[in-house]
Structure 1
Amino acid sequence: MEKNLTKPPPAAVPAGEASAITRGVRRMLAAHGLASVAEFTLRSRRRADVLAVDAKGIVTIVEVKSSIADFRADRKWPDYLDFCDHFYFAVDDSFPAELIPDSCGLMIADAYEAAIAREAPETPLNAVRRRTLLLRFAHAAAGRLHRLEDPGLV
């Protein structure tokens, strides 16, 4: 049994500017009917900044970038594309949008809200991967909620 499926990583909430962007993104996703978790570990062992699911099971991954240096140093984001129907970068309003590849969606966010500046192309997941990912998402979200409701849980 994989115990770490539901246990958030030690830093489940990003620090500083990334935290503010993540918060705004998750608020916007919730306003559009998507449920999300931060710092979701994929089967590939990569950790998505935000993974969200809508009522139809469509999966969106959002990679938060708090600076140009953070974006340029990141070589792992292409690994996320096989685990979502839509992939976005989320940045603040000072980030030069032209750095974000045209093949990715773009969100502009602050600590309170986010807006989609460019829609992400749809790249549908195959049925087996979708089912596996949705089960892992549900398990992770339920586990996190349980730990909030019962802080003494080991």
Structure 2
Amino acid sequence: MPQSSLDIVICPADGRQSETAREIARGTSRFLASLGFSCVAELPLPSGGRADLVAMNPKGEIWIVEIKSSRADLRADGKWESYRAHCDRLFFAFPSELPCELFPPETGLIVADGYGAFLHCEAPEHRLAAPTRKVMMIRFGLAAAGRMSRLIDPQGHGLIDE
């Protein structure tokens, strides 16, 4: 059963994502919510990258989902491999028009649109070390809380930054 909409913390459109990418993020977030995960979009990582979606469940499992809206988007991305160091499982989410064979076999695959998604293949698990998990959980919580605060009080959000 999906959780409340407050558990899906998606950034507002900022011009970096295409409409297709935003739809994939929405459908993937809905799917992950049905599995008991809450999501934060565009989460800065300790390595300096920015993950498209980071999902965490009540057990503390952390998944990263890299969104690809086209072949060109996939070809232009060389940073996704570094994301593995910050999650228990790494996935790509993409529209049904893209063939699964384009994506690396060592990642999970999620096919999504603006309404939902399905798991095409599971990602291999590589459990995070406890210190890395703690850092990611703190980043996740601070980002989610900061975004919720900005929704509640848009004029008062300048004091704390992600």
TM-score (normalizing by structure 2): 0.87
After TM superposition, list the pairs within 5 Å mapping 1:83-98 onto structure 2: 83-98=86-101
Aligned-residue offset at 1:151 = 1.0
After TM superposition, list the pairs within 5 Å mapping 1:3-152 onto structure 2: 11=14, 14-152=17-155
Alignment root-mean-square deviation, CA: 1.6
Aligned-residue offset at 1:12 = 8.4
1:121 partner letter: P
Structure 1 unaligned segments of length 5 or more: list them.
1-7
Change (3 A) 1:112 1:10: closer
Change (3 A) 1:32 1:12: farther
2-structure distance, mates of 1:110, 1:83 = 25
Larger RCO, structures 1/2 (Cα 8 Å, 6+ apart): 1
3-state SS of 1:131 partner? helix
1-structure distance, mates of 2:48, 2:12 = 12
Q: What stretches of structure 1 move > 2 A for 4+ residues in a row?
A: 8-15
Change (3 A) 1:112 1:13: farther
TM-score (normalizing by structure 1): 0.91
2-structure distance, mates of 1:130, 1:61 = 13
2-structure distance, mates of 1:49, 1:11 = 13
2-structure distance, mates of 1:36, 1:128 = 21
The number of residues matched between the two structures is 147
3-state SS of 1:40 partner? strand
2-structure distance, mates of 1:20, 1:61 = 17
Tell me the residue number matched to 1:4. Answer: none
2-structure distance, mates of 1:51, 1:13 = 17
Percent of pairs identical after alignment? 45
2-structure distance, mates of 1:141, 1:148 = 11
